[in-house]
Structure 1
């Protein structure tokens, strides 16, 4: 009887701590995330990211660690784009003009989209800024990174390089 109780407890814990795959997030996100350009034009559907290694970064212009991450994200895009990496920054500013002003001073080489309704942030259960998701070609979230500390950039680059080889 103790073994059955333990087994049931273990299964319950498994379900409690199981994370849905990015593919499931993509399915939910495609219907609720309405990403736009900073000019308000509709942009690509998240389903279009399947088959690519994606570094998805939620950011805002008022977030100091977000600002510090941009040179790293630019370098990733420059160095690994030809190997199959797609870097996308999802802006969560209340006013799009704040993001536009920030980007005028800090140009980027990677894709920038806006989440005006904040639905993507809800789907991905965003808890901190910035939060980045490293997604493999099968659509599985392989790494979630909250905040940005420049000392961790080599570790993140190694994870990305590993996924690009898979």
Structure 2
């Protein structure tokens, strides 16, 4: 499975990368029930979009952190969307049984959203402001990243 992930990212090229200051080049991705999940809904003050896969070790570490951030900042306007890129949804569902998600889930088995955003590592995240423009991109996830990512979210939520 890891080789599939490596092949996926070697063949992806950022067609319309999500550059800071620009609108996200993806509008929606199918949700758990098949209905579209709008990535920028115009209601949240901030939207944190995380691209992940079941074979990704750091993704296992990022989910508890995302759940914590959603619980801590959701009432202040943070919305988190986790976009799964597994080719087989069963792989994602098995992962989610072990590592539950308390965030909005979306599934993109063909990886088109990741390609348009310019994802090159797993997990990768994009933070959108209230206008839907990219405030930040982040590749990977380590425990050392948590404080800086949370500080960026907290500061953006305080901004007018």
TM bin (shorter chain): 0.7 to 0.9
**More helix by percentage:** 1
What residue ranges of structure 2 are gaps of 5+ in the alignment?
A: 1-18
Asked if residue 29 in structure 1 is aligned to residue 22 in structure 2, the reply is no
Question: How many Å separate the matches in 2 of 1:140 and 1:61?
Answer: 28
Unaligned runs of 5+ in 1: 1-18
More strand by share: 2
* Residue 79 of structure 2 corresponds to residue 82 of structure 1: no
* Counterparts of 1:136 and 1:143, CA distance in 2: 9
- SS of corresponding position for 2:118: coil
* Partner in structure 1 of residue 115 of structure 2: 122
- 1:134 alignment partner, one of 127, 144, 155: 127
Distance 2:20 2:64 in 1: 31
Q: How does 1:1-166 map to 2 (within 5 A)?
A: 19=19, 21-23=21-23, 25=24, 28-30=25-27, 35-39=29-33, 41-49=34-42, 51-166=44-159
* Distance 1:161-1:123 versus aligned 2 partners, 3 A rule: same
Instruction: Give aligned pairs, total.
Output: 142
Conserved? CA contact 1:54–1:88, under 8 Å: yes
> How far off its partner does 1:125 sit?
1.0
Deviation at 1:22, TM superposition (A): 4.1
* Native 8 Å contact 2:30 2:108 kept in 1: yes
CA RMSD across the alignment: 1.9
Structure 1 distance, partners of 2:42, 2:106, is 14
Distance of 1:49 and 1:112 partners within structure 2? 18
TM-score by length of structure 2 reads: 0.81
TM-score of the superposition, structure 1-length normalised?
A: 0.78
1:42-84 Cα shifts (integer Å, max 9, x gaps):
2233342465301100000100011111111110011000000
Q: Write the distance in 2 (CA, Å) between the matches of 1:129 and 1:153.
A: 16
Post-superposition Cα deviations, 1:126-147, rounded to whole Å, max 9, x if no partner, equal 1111001111112221111111
